[in-house]
Structures are given as C-alpha cells and as structure tokens.
Amino acid sequence: MPRIVNIVKKGLYRDSVQLLHISDQVRRLEGVLNAMIAMGTKLNKEILAREGLLTPEGRDASENDLVIALKISDLADLNGILARVEDLLSKTPTQDLEIYSDLDYALDSNRDINLALVSVPGQYAREVVMKLLDRGLHIHLFSNHVPIEHEVEMKRYAVEKGLLLMGPEAGTSIISGVAIAFANQVRRGPVGIISASGTGLQEVSVLLHRIGLGISHGIGVGGRDLSREVEGIMTLFSIEVLERDPATGVIVVISKPPSQDVTRRVIERIKAGGKGYVTCFIGGEILDIGEKHRGRVIQTRTLHGAALETTRLAKSQLYWEARRMLGIDEKILNKIEDGISRLREGQRYVRGLYVGGTLAYEAMYILKEYVGDIYSNTPLKEEYRLDNPWTSRENTIVDLGGSEFTEGRPHPMIDPSIRVSRIAEEARDPEVAVIMLDFILGYGSHSDPVGAHLDALRRAIESSRSSGRELIVLAHIVGTDSDPQNMALQREILERLGVVVLPTNAMMALAAAMITMGRADKEFIEEFEEKYLVGF
C-alpha cells in the first residue's frame, strides 16, 4: 500500500520557484508516486489536502515552516529519498551568479547598470526602489502588495528624475529588445507598447511579430497605473518617452478599463502627440476624439483589434493578410462544427481556466454578449463573484493567477499544477461543453506548458467520451517560434490530441460562443469582426 509522509522543517524558508523545481526532481525518484515540497501556507495545505498528500504533521505546519509531502510505494527507500531532498534543499539556485549583500556596493561594482528588476515583499519595495532611483536607474518592479500610496510616491519621484518605474506587479516589459520577467522573443520594430497588463503586452507583441512587425519598447506600467488613485502617472510619462524615441513610430496603450477621468486625460495627451496611436481599454468607453485626429488615433475594444489597427497604422499593406492570418479559417470552422454535432443535450456551459488575467478579462467581456454573465474570481460584475474560487458554476472563467491561487506559490505560468487538477474537475461536470485554456510561452514561463497538461487533457477527453459525452477543448498559445518552448511543437501536440487551437484569445472566446450557441457560420464570424475587431 502507498504511504503518505509529511516531514516539517521548522523555520526553514526556500523560494517557491526553487521548491517547484525540487518537487519536480523528487517526483522522478524511484518509489515516489507523488511529491510536493512547499511552505506551509494555508493555500499550499489546501492543495496538499486536495492531492491526498496532507497528514496531521503537515496540517500543523505554519507558513514559516517547510513541508516535505511524499506519497511513496511500500517498497520505497524513505531514508534515501529524504537524503536526496535534503541535498536539493542545501543547494542554492544562484550558484553561478554574482551575489551581493549590499546594494550600494553592487552598484559601485557595476557602474554600467542602468535598469534594475526588483522583486521583494511589497511592504519593503519603497526602500529599495527609492535608493535605486537616487542612483539613476530605471526600475522594473515585479513585487505585488505594494501600498498604493507608496506606488504614487515612487512614480512621482521617478518622473522627477526622468526615469521609468515599471510596475508594481509588472509582469512583462521589453526594453530595447531585451525581455524582462515574463516576455516573448519578438523582433525589433517601430511599435512601442505601454501596458497596464503583462499578458496584454505579450498578446499584442506576439501577434504583431506573427504579422511581420516588431517592437521598439514594451513598457509595463503595472495594473493600477490607470486607476483613479495613481492617475496614469507612468502611462503619461511613457507617452512622453516614446514620443521622443526615434525608433518608435506607432504607440499602443493597453489596459483594462481605466477610470473615466484617467481615460480622458490619456486621450487628451494622445491627441496632443505627433505619432500614430492605438488604444485598447478592453471593453471600456469609446470616446469622441474629433475629426482632426481620426485615422491617427484609433480606439479598439480587444487585443486582437489593437494588433490589426496597429498594423494598419504601421504598415497598411499587411492589414488584410493580418486579418486572414488571425481569423478563423475553414479548417478551424469545420472542427467547431464537428464538435457542436457531437455534444449531448444538456451540455451548454463554458469553463475558462486562464493563467493570464487580462486574457481572462477579455474572454469574459466577449462571452457575456453571447452566453450572459460569467462567474469568476475576478468577475465583471461583483454579484457574479464565485463563492468558492475552487468550484465553478454555470459559465465560469477563472484567473488562476489571482491571489487566491498564488499565495506562497509560483504563478501558474511557472507552475501549472493547480490548473492540471482543475481540468479533471471541470471535465466531470456533465453540463460542460467546452474548456478554454491559454498557454503562455516565453522567458520565465514553464519550459513545456503543453507537456505539463498533456496527461490531464487526455484523461479528461477520454473520460468524457467513456460517459457518452464529447468535451471540446479550445486553446490559444501566446508565443513565437523564437521562444524557448518551441511553439510549433506545442501546437502540434495539442492538435494531435484533438484540441482546437485558435490564433488569438478573442477568437478562442468567439469559438466558445459558437459552440454554446450551436452556431458555426461565416455570417456569425463577420458580425463578430465588425463589433470587436475594428477601430473607432
């Protein structure tokens, strides 16, 4: 009989990403059926319980304790396994890097540094950032839970110093072709992107790369920059920076809907500029910009639409080919029609399991027009917030990068284990017709995201068929063929499994709507394109 063992290491801390890699290595050891090495946070203990890996010893661990949770065969060498775990825990993941204990000494020793990536607990970020700004460095602030009053203070000071402060909670930036944090390998080109969304920046930069365009800079300003409290401080400053940049010809501004006052302030600044602009405030208000600016300033409703209108401004001869490339072709349409024909009566719900928060938001914005309001842990309307984010109901889209799923754990772009488990749960619901998944490639992401989901997807599809149902799985891959994960292979593996791969997130949402409505025709697609993919 398998044994469940929990060993608690009191007061021992290791970074969640390091523990993820250690867990992967331990699972490969002889006699190990499952393993999770993690800090004893409430979330991690919930996951251990769901996986059947929690014992009373682990349950009593505090968030400052490290838990070694093992499921091993009855013949496994427990002492040998634990010795290997201890060996892995003793190694630092930064052995090949220069490590400094003093920030000033590090900067004095590397005087050519002009940008710093900061990832410290949010309450301590201000102390580090202000010192770096005093030393004249641009900042990419990855930290979350930064007090908003600190964000305002730091950004105002950065602007005074003429420096970029990207973040906090900036998941993605691309500066002079260098990918920072989660970003894709895209070509250089004339398009500058200012984004309050990491995955929004990734989606648009990747689509432009596929079309044949490139990025001068991608500035991630942090998700709160366009809020009423922060007032778009870094967005407005970034517009000034890109207006002066000779390598930038067209500027794209991306965000979930900002506050009305900030929207108007940004649009007024854009109208005063001299370059071409595309805004994408997903699902936000479309303002009257006046005839004088029409054609130079274009507002869009979706990330897909933003990529198309940017193409129109930057290289108009590519526009119609881009429309074709990013659309639903005959082959995909046939797959959707075939899937609809196989659904059983009563299968009517959509379940979206997203690792990209803005992609989840965009999907909800589109789908609500076709299937009604969507339940979520990050809903468009507060009354549709899930009572329990671990359990879906009716039409549900979940942002697995939300704080409920990431406390003390790596982001699901790095560690897909929560989504892998969730796929099986959604597949068991006889009313589910379609599951939507985003796979985000690039630097910082899992080395093989599709491979990590493969067994779970195969089991979900097979178990549905064995119970007389057809489960349709849709996927969208955010990536390029230059990314380290080999996008062509990722796509091929999904398609061999029967997953329908869509060229954009907006098209995946459209496909989900078509399936639930039982309608797969070109007229529907044309109506969608006119509503969501054109500029204003």
Q: Could you read off the pLDDT of 21-78 as tens digits, one per residue?
A: 899 899 989 999 999 999 998 889 988 998 899 999 999 999 899 999 999 999 899 9
Helix count and strand count (H, E) for the chain: 20, 18
Containing 255, the helix (H) or strand (E) segment is: strand 250-255
pLDDT tens-digit readout, 383-392: 999 999 999 9
Containing 6, the helix (H) or strand (E) segment is: strand 3-9
What token pair was written down for 149?
A: 């009053």
pLDDT at position 392 is 97
CA distances from 491 to 385, 441, 485, 535 (A): 33, 11, 11, 30
* pLDDT beyond 80 at 131: yes
Q: Give the mean model confidence (pLDDT) for residues 364-386.
A: 97
Per-residue confidence at 409, pLDDT binned at 50, 70, 90? confident
For CATH 3.30.70.100, the residue range(s) in the chain are 3-90
Nearest partner of 144 among 201, 219, 222, 199, judged by Cα = 222
d(CA 409, CA 419): 13
Burial code (b: 16+ CB inside 10 Å, e: under 16) for 369-387 equals: ebbeebbbbbbbeeebebe
d(CA 302, CA 119): 30
Nearest partner of 428 among 478, 474, 471, 486, judged by Cα = 471
For CATH 3.40.50.261, the residue range(s) in the chain are 103-325, 330-532
Residues 533, 506 contacting (CB under 8 angstroms): yes
* pLDDT beyond 70 at 96: no
Q: What's the CATH number for 103-325?
A: 3.40.50.261
d(CA 15, CA 468): 44
- How, if at all, do strands 215-220 and 172-175 pair? antiparallel
Residues 445, 479 contacting (CB under 8 angstroms): no
* pLDDT beyond 90 at 92: no
Q: The whole model's pTM is what?
A: 0.90
Phi, psi of 417, rounded to the nearest 5 degrees: -60, -35
pLDDT at position 408 is 72
- Angle (deg, nearest 10), helices 303-314 and 198-211: 40
Containing 37, the helix (H) or strand (E) segment is: strand 32-39
Residues 246, 189 contacting (CB under 8 angstroms): no
pLDDT tens-digit readout, 460-501: 999 999 999 999 999 999 999 999 999 999 999 999 999 999
Phi, psi of 447, rounded to the nearest 5 degrees: -70, -20
d(CA 163, CA 135): 11
- How, if at all, do strands 349-354 and 297-300 pair? unpaired
d(CA 78, CA 223): 46
Q: Domain 330-532 - what CATH class?
A: alpha beta
Tell me how far the alpha carbon of residue 379 is from its chain's centroid.
16
* pLDDT beyond 70 at 94: no
d(CA 9, CA 29): 21
- How, if at all, do strands 138-141 and 115-118 pair? parallel
State the fold for domain 3-90: Alpha-Beta Plaits (3.30.70)
d(CA 476, CA 460): 18
211 Cβ contact partners less than 8 Å away, ≥ 6 residues apart: 307, 311, 318, 321, 322, 325, 326
* pLDDT beyond 90 at 100: no
Containing 476, the helix (H) or strand (E) segment is: strand 472-478
Token pair 């501004």 is found at 253
Beta strand segments in 294-334, E: 297-300
Nearest partner of 249 among 213, 205, 219, 302, judged by Cα = 213
pLDDT tens-digit readout, 159-202: 999 999 999 999 999 999 999 999 999 999 999 999 999 999 99
pLDDT tens-digit readout, 302-312: 999 999 999 99
Burial class from Cβ neighbours inside 10 Å (0-12, 13-18, 19+) for residue 350 reads buried
